[in-house]
Amino acid sequence: MNLTEVPSGRKARIESILDPVTRDYLLRLGIVEGSTVECVQRMARGPVVVRKSSLELSLGRRVAERILVSSVGDDP
Amino acid sequence: MRDNPHGLEEIKSIVLVGNPNTGKSVLFGELTRQFAEVSNYPGTTLLLSEGWMADFVVIDTPGVYGLYSSKEEEVVRQAVEASGIVINVMDATNLERGLWLALELLETGKTVFNVLNMWDEVETTGLVIDVERLGSLLGTPVFTTVAVKGVGIKELVGAITSHMEAPAERSLSQTADFSLDDALGTSELSSSGTAEATLSRRQRIEDILEGVLVRVPERRGLADVLSEIMIRPLTGVPLALAILGGVFYLIGAFVAQDLVAFTEGVIFQQIYEPAVRLIVGSVLSGPLYEIIAGEFGVLTMTVTYVLGLLLPLVFAFYVLMALLEDTGYLPRLATLADRTFTAMGMNGKAVIPIVLGFGCVTMATITTRMLDKRRERTIAIALLALAVPCSAQMAVILVLLAGLGFIYWALYGGILLGVFLLIGGVLSRIIPGERSAFMYELPKLRLPQWRNVLRKARFRTRIFITNVFPLFFLGALFISVLLVTGALGAAQQALHPLVTGWLGLPPEGATALIMGFVRRDFGAAGFFHMALTPIQAVVGMIVITLFIPCIASVMVIHKEMGLKGVLGILGFTLGTAFLTGGIIYRVLTFFLGG
Ligand SMILES: Nc1nc2c(ncn2[C@@H]2O[C@H](COP(=O)(O)OP(=O)(O)OP(=O)(O)O)[C@@H](O)[C@H]2O)c(=O)[nH]1
Ligand SMILES: [Mg+2]
């Protein structure tokens, strides 16, 4: 599952960040493989907005598609 | 500098470094009493700027996340290397993000003063940070500040000054609880380097956070709710339209009509101009009188337009723009518009220069530096030059269209938007190059700081007036000379097929177009005293809006894109302006009747 498939309001665990540039950027913001982020908003064919503690970040569609995640928490 | 035994030069400069939007420029303003642009979005400062604090040079830098990953970061790293002292500005409410850069800065061996800015927000949210422990973990002093209120600045300056006076007494970065070489697992300090180095730095950050974050509140305040309303398309799009409508209503209805009717109509046209005519008329007559106090007179028209009409409108625009910049709304608008902008070969970030273009296209052209790829910048610069009217131009156009009613405003706006989207789509197909990834941090929503808003609006207005006055002055002189020598009549004759045949404007429209070469708003002003049908008014306004950008913009474009870029943009805007104008004239005549 990639980040664009996480419903708004749900949390997800980052499993793998495929693009090295994205990886480098997110690493310095404190988002790495194993981090949990909340998906605040995903737009149809548009960006995904994620939140981790007080950081809010907008990630374009093509960026989010290359971030693999697993679901966390509320799932049965 | 390196070889200087006392390190004097080096010591005397202080560089402000930090993540984007942490308050470096506010701090710069506090330290140097010098104006720096401050806005609530990441990427406000894009170039180094220098100021003085007593006899130290203070350097403000663009926000970065590290020192080794890009060309922009390279510029900041060089500034760090050239300085004796580094002030690392962190957003206290987002320590995790700031520590990466903090560690990289410590590894340079420079003297680092860490600042936890936005301390007011720490207090209001209930976050608890053990500042002393952070200082001892980093091995350097940590100060807390509220830069916008000037809180904590004295302590910071005091510490820096006393360090300057006795730099040898304490070597600040040696007393850390841990060894940086251990943390890195290598003594190779010059890059974020190997995977292990990276991971251990990450681990170090986790450890520090563990030690200093005493309490982290669960936040779900009003700001979060508002933020979601702004970025959810269902609510965000109507909100964006409402803001746009509100801005134009305020400016168009209130400032452009009531206020300008007073400043231009009463103060300048009824009091100032007759007085000038009387005085000039008593000493001069004939062509000279015409040039100085006639229809396009340098003392009459120029002064009336610039001070009576443009000044209040441009200032009002800048105030609203500064309000918008201060709230943190723009990055959310960028998120909302990312899809549309992707279709035009850019990404959502380009929203910021485009919106700023409605204030001043020249400034916005510089702001395109925040876009990552060359292609995106080219497209954004071309669209700014073509289809984004700056505040001065909007001012004249609003006044001109004011009498025509809502439908013509909507027509003007709709046509402009259509051209913007269409040309954007075309450019994205014909300009080769990479796309860049959209990754943009959303700043906290904040209430505008009145002091900042007014200061910024004043500063920008002053620049505007000082740029525009001489241009209008020379432009008016030029047009008056053409008029009294009869050259204007000849030009109107020569341009007749284009102006009247193709665009359907009255022959005097040629004058306005010639004036448009001086500035687009000057050209728009040229339409003022012509009797135009509503269709002619719309066509005229569209042509003059799409017309070549002002000289200041051309100079910036030259700097950013070279001579070929400038020539390309000039040809492209002129061609598109005339092509669009002719088409619109025919379509409108067909539907609305001649
Ligand atoms: N509440 C609060 N807001 C602050 C404080 N310091 C700065 N701000 C706000 O934070 C925003 C960013 O400030 P800037 O000085 O432009 O930040 P910067 O670090 O120069 O940003 P870039 O140039 O984009 O890297 C502005 O809206 C400021 O009003 C503070 O201490 N408290
Ligand atoms: Mg700045």
Q: Which residue has the higher pLDDT, B325 or B404?
A: B325
Task: Tell me what pLDDT residue B11 has.
Answer: 55
Task: Tell me what pLDDT residue A23 has.
Answer: 92
Tallying the residues shown for chain A, one arrives at 76
What digits encode the pLDDT tens for the residues B457-492? 999 999 999 988 888 888 888 888 888 898 989 999
pLDDT tier at B223, thresholds 50, 70, 90: confident
ipTM of the complex, rounded to two decimals: 0.95
Q: Report the residue from A41, A60, A62 with minimal CB separation from B231.
A: A41
Give the residue among B194, B592, B227 at the shortest CA–CA distance from B442.
B227
Task: Tell me what pLDDT residue B473 has.
Answer: 85
Task: Tell me what pLDDT residue B224 has.
Answer: 87
Structure tokens at B207: 């450890």
For B425, residues 6+ apart whose C-beta sits below 8 A from its C-beta are B343, B344
Task: Tell me what pLDDT residue B594 has.
Answer: 56
CA of B328 to the centre of ligand 1 (A): 11
**Whether the predicted pLDDT of B591 surpasses 90:** no
Task: Tell me what pLDDT residue B186 has.
Answer: 38
Task: Tell me what pLDDT residue B234 has.
Answer: 94
Judge whether B64 and B77 are in contact, CB under 8 Å: no
CA of B80 to the centre of ligand 1 (A): 21
Q: Which residues of B touch A41 (CB under 8 A)?
A: 228, 231-232
pLDDT tier at B214, thresholds 50, 70, 90: confident
Q: Ligand 1, atom 13: nearest CA belongs to which residue?
A: B23
User: Chain A residues contacting B, CB < 8 Å?
Assistant: 19, 21-22, 24-25, 27-30, 32, 40-41, 43-47, 49, 53-63
CA–CA dist B552, B568 (Å, integer): 17
**Whether the predicted pLDDT of B226 surpasses 50:** yes
What digits encode the pLDDT tens for the residues B21-64? 999 999 999 999 999 999 999 999 999 999 999 889 999 999 99
CA atoms within 13 A on the CB side of A55: 25
**Which overall architecture, per CATH, does domain A3-71 show?**
Roll (2.30)
- Nearest ligand 1 atom to alpha carbon B60: 20
Judge whether B304 and B273 are in contact, CB under 8 Å: yes
The alpha carbon of residue B348 is apart from the nearest alpha carbon of chain A, in Å, by: 8
Give the mutation target among B30, B32, B38 for probing the ligand 1 site: most ligand atoms within 8 A of CB.
B38
Q: Ligand 1, atom 30: nearest CA belongs to which residue?
A: B118
**Whether the predicted pLDDT of B509 surpasses 60:** yes
Instruction: Write out B34-71 in H/E/C secondary structure.
Output: CCCCCCCCCCCCCCCEEEEECCEEEEECCCCCCCCCCH
Domains and CATH numbers, chain B: 12-214 (3.40.50.300), 229-592 (no CATH)
Average pLDDT over residues B418-430: 96
Q: Which residues of A touch B334 (CB under 8 A)?
A: 58
Order of strands, sheet of B111-117, starting from the edge strand that comes earlier in the sequence: B49-53, B56-60, B13-18, B85-91, B111-117, B142-144
CA of B493 to the centre of ligand 2 (A): 52
CA of B163 to the centre of ligand 2 (A): 25
Average per-residue pLDDT for chain B: 88
Return the sign of the alpha-carbon dihedral for residues A51, A57, A58, A61. negative
A interface test, pick of B201, B439, B441, B442 with most A CB neighbours within 10 Å:
B439
Beta-carbon separation of A28 and B348 below 8 A? no
Task: Tell me what pLDDT residue B396 has.
Answer: 86
Scan for tokens 């400032």, then name that residue.
B255
**Whether the predicted pLDDT of A62 surpasses 90:** yes
**Whether the predicted pLDDT of B199 surpasses 50:** yes
Average pLDDT over residues B282-296: 83
Pocket around ligand 1: residues whose beta carbon is below 6 Å from it? B 18, 20-26, 38-40, 42-45, 62-63, 117-118, 120-121, 146-148, 326, 446, 449, 452
Q: Which residues of B touch A40 (CB under 8 A)?
A: 227-228, 231
Task: Tell me what pLDDT residue B535 has.
Answer: 92
Q: Which residue has the higher pLDDT, B69 or B338?
A: B338
Give the residue among B153, B162, B165 at the shortest CA–CA distance from B33.
B153
Average pLDDT over residues B67-96: 93
Task: Tell me what pLDDT residue B357 has.
Answer: 95
Average per-residue pLDDT for chain A: 91
Judge whether B344 and B532 are in contact, CB under 8 Å: no
Average pLDDT over residues A43-52: 92
- Nearest ligand 1 atom to alpha carbon B26: 15
Q: Which residues of A touch B126 (CB under 8 A)?
A: none
CA atoms within 13 A on the CB side of B144: 15
What digits encode the pLDDT tens for the residues B102-152? 999 999 999 999 999 999 999 888 889 999 999 999 999 999 999 999 999
pTM of the model: 0.91
Give the mutation target among B17, B35, B39, B90 for probing the ligand 1 site: most ligand atoms within 8 A of CB.
B39
**Whether the predicted pLDDT of B537 surpasses 70:** yes
Scan for tokens 């009255």, then name that residue.
B506
